[in-house]
Amino acid sequence: MINSKFICAYFIVLLSSGCAYSIKEVDVSKAEPSCVKECSVSYSSCVSQGNQIGFKTETLRACKEAFEICVATCPLKADSNKLTK
């Protein structure tokens, strides 16, 4: 009985953690939109390739990290340059 409760709780945690790696929290407001779009396409391709790295959560984490790096390398939007000068 205890084992079945533990297994059930484990799967609930495992399934709910799949949403923890969302790119919605990545700030793209200052990046050039065309570059962000390319990063989004790469992210989408990464996620759709399936479980390349163990569990799905690991794949999502790796894809999110790649998206963050991609966005960080994007040039600033034209109006963001004016704000920083």
Domain that holds residue 62: 2-84
pLDDT given at position 78: 83
Residue-wise pLDDT for 12-62, tens only, equals 544 444 455 788 889 999 999 999 999 999 999 998 886 666 678 888 889
Residue 60: name the closest of 37, 42, 43, 40 by CA. 43
Q: Which of 7-11, 74-78, 81-85 has the highest mean pLDDT?
A: 74-78
Contacts 24+ apart (CB under 8 A), 49-56: 55/14, 56/18
The tally of domains found in the chain comes to 1
* pTM listed for this prediction: 0.67
pLDDT given at position 15: 47
pLDDT given at position 16: 47
More confident residue, 6 or 54: 54
